[in-house]
Amino acid sequence: MKVLVVGSGGREHAICWKFAESSKIEKVYCVPGNGGISQVAENADISADDFNKLADFVKANDIDFTFVGPEVPLSLGIVDYFKERGLRIVSPSKAAARLESSKIYSKEFMYKYGIPTAQYNSFSNADNALKFLANWEANKKVVVKADGLAAGKGVYICSGREDATSAVKQMMEEKVLGEAGTNIIIEEYVDGPELSYLVFTDGEAYSAMPASQDHKRVNDNDKGPNTGGMGAYAPAPLATEELNKKVEDTIIRKVIDGIKAEKLDYKGVLYVGIIMNGSSPYVLEFNCRFGDPETQAVLPLLDTDFVDICEAILDKNLANLKINWKKIFSVCVVLASGGYPRSFKKGFEIKGLENIRDKDSMVFHAGTKLENGKIVTSGGRVLNIVSVASDIKSAIDKVYLNVSMIKFEGIHYRKDIAGRALNGKQN
């Protein structure tokens, strides 16, 4: 079989790597790919939103199915376009992807189907939002969210009225997030530990993956601005059997029932971001694809052929497939460019990659490219270093030993990834 993966980040490298492990796969293609993905797949220089060229590429290379990594092509309707061309694709339709591409639609969906989430108000103009905030307590925390896609940077956790007022003006008047901030949500702040639940679904049946925890803030101890994610680990000790059952009963099953009731074409991966409000799990957000960097931590735990899962999803046969997971722990540390998530320089040579050789560790490239025979930095999040072990402490020790071997100018990474799993503090 031949498979195409759409995307260019660490998530897509992990997906390509997992496909390449399968004995059923003859060849993996990736568009546009990056400097490291070429180790496990053939890259093609096609934009992820050029659906016509992508479909032509699939036809010309006799590719059996396509798997989409990032959110933007989903929100633009790549699935609908491919289906019109008679091509098999493991991802949700444009209508289904609104669960991610519109925070307002997502909230309305949750309210309609009784899915627990924080209270909110939505606004389409700045004046109304600012009038609402004028009555907000001066020092009461509040969350301001852009309605549209903002590459993981559309959520502002505000310390009070003044901070929230600034966030609204930045989004709606200064357009710092572009069109994504045209409409916004102002949401009650919930203070609790977070979990990421990734779920395989064919739109009817579903199978949850081991829960993981992401680290969004750029600096240790959850300081600094939000990022696309600085690291993750799985399975998270916070996700006990009791909590997993509660999440399944009160959230996941209701989401799938809602998808069926709305007649949404959903075949792929659903990401459910959870925050604990006391003992009750609340939904923070949905993503309609694999999370990043959660994917890099979770996929190494998968013990079932990834191709079998994708075929079961395409054939709406997921209910009849047993998916197995290795009883080990995984830790992923993101190596970023200095200055990320704000301005940063690119083009620095990455040294030491050849030093990571142990069979229980992986390097997934994100913001890299191959230039004159050398791997150089080309993005904010540059590399994902992942290690697995039988216990979480050994996985942490191993991953940071590998991290110490990598060098490039301005390198920045958190030194406390998965530390909360050891010290008992889950938030």
Residue in this structure with the two tokens 């990022």, named with its chain if needed: 227
Whether a cis peptide bond, with omega within 30° of 0, leads into 225 is no
DSSP letter string over 283-321? Answer: EEEEESS--TTHHHHHGGGB-S-HHHHHHHHHTT-GGG-
The answer to whether the beta carbons of residues 336 and 380 sit under 8 Å apart is yes
- CA dist., res. 11 & res. 4, Å (int): 14
Q: How many CA atoms lie less than 13 Å away from 240 in the CB half-sphere?
A: 6
Helices (H), 35-102: 51-60, 71-76, 78-84, 98-101
0.75 surpassed by pTM = yes
- CA end-to-end distance (rounded Å), the chain: 43
The DSSP code for 38 is G
418: alpha, beta or left, given left = phi > 0 and alpha = psi -120 to 50?
left
pLDDT in tens, the chain (427 residues): 999 999 999 999 999 999 999 999 999 999 999 989 999 999 999 999 999 999 999 999 999 999 999 999 999 999 999 999 999 999 999 999 999 999 999 999 999 999 999 999 999 999 999 999 999 999 999 999 999 998 778 899 999 999 999 999 999 999 999 999 999 999 999 999 999 999 999 999 999 999 999 999 999 999 998 888 999 999 999 999 999 999 999 999 999 999 999 999 999 999 999 999 999 999 999 999 999 999 999 999 999 999 999 999 999 999 999 999 999 999 999 999 999 999 999 999 999 999 998 899 999 999 999 999 899 999 999 999 999 999 999 999 999 999 999 999 999 999 999 998 887 655 4
Environment class of residue 12 by beta-carbon count within 10 Å: exposed (0-12), middle (13-18) or buried (19+)?
A: buried
In whole angstroms, give the CA distance from residue 285 to residue 380. Answer: 23
